[in-house]
Amino acid sequence: MNFADINGNNIDYDGQKDLLFITLPTKKSVNFIKKIKDGELQNYTKECKIYLNSIEDAILATKALKQLNTLQEQKMKSNTTQISNLKQAVDKLNQLLQKVNIGEDNYDLFVEITDEATRSIKLTSTFSNLKKSVETVQEFSLNDINPKNCSIKVKGKHVIAALNTQHLEKIVKTYVDGQIKPYQYKVGIEAKGIEAAREIVTIVQSIAANN
């Protein structure tokens, strides 16, 4: 969990029967909190609770958590990534696109430059588990990506860096196991977690804005 994603205005303590706790809700109720139970990844969630022993502890902890939230928000604003060089961006993306494992499902991802003049790249994503393997290739230009329409999408246990074209034009060439498929208006990159997805989006936004 990144405290910058928490809604500081709604950090407060509460009680239920003999339990005393502080609720930490995310901004806009997005499912950005990673949850692990008995060592297994669960669906991402929009809030978590911290349990305490006394009202005094709850008051002090609430104040400290609000301060932590403010500090983390300030830190995030100051740590903006600015990349204008295509090769540097692709190298950085490949560092982030590690193998993603979710249960028995595996995702191997790799980005490469296909035309430096047009800032065109190819994203290869190979999904595999014990039953099947599927390779998806998407080819597009970073010039066609709308930096204002890139975001993080969470679906259950999956975190996706979602990149959309400028006006949702269907111009992303897509192949599945070598077979051409209908052109798409979006690119979805499976990420290892919220922070990896955030950095992927930030890199793409930075270089897409410099076209």
Structure confidence by residue, pLDDT tens digits, 78-117:
776 667 789 999 999 999 997 899 989 999 999 999 999 9
Burial of 21 (0-12, 13-18, 19+ CB in 10 A): middle
* pLDDT beyond 90 at 208: no
* pLDDT beyond 90 at 172: yes
Helices (H) and strands (E) in the chain, counts: 3, 14
Burial of 197 (0-12, 13-18, 19+ CB in 10 A): buried
Q: What is the pTM of this model?
A: 0.90
Residue-level pLDDT at 80: 66
Let me know: does 161 contact 138? Beta carbons within 8 Å: no
* pLDDT band (50, 70, 90) for residue 15: confident
Structural domains in the chain, CATH included, are 3-78 (no CATH), 86-208 (2.30.29)
Q: Average model confidence (pLDDT) for the chain?
A: 92
Residue-level pLDDT at 18: 83
At CA 72, angle to CA 145 and CA 7, rounded to 5?
80
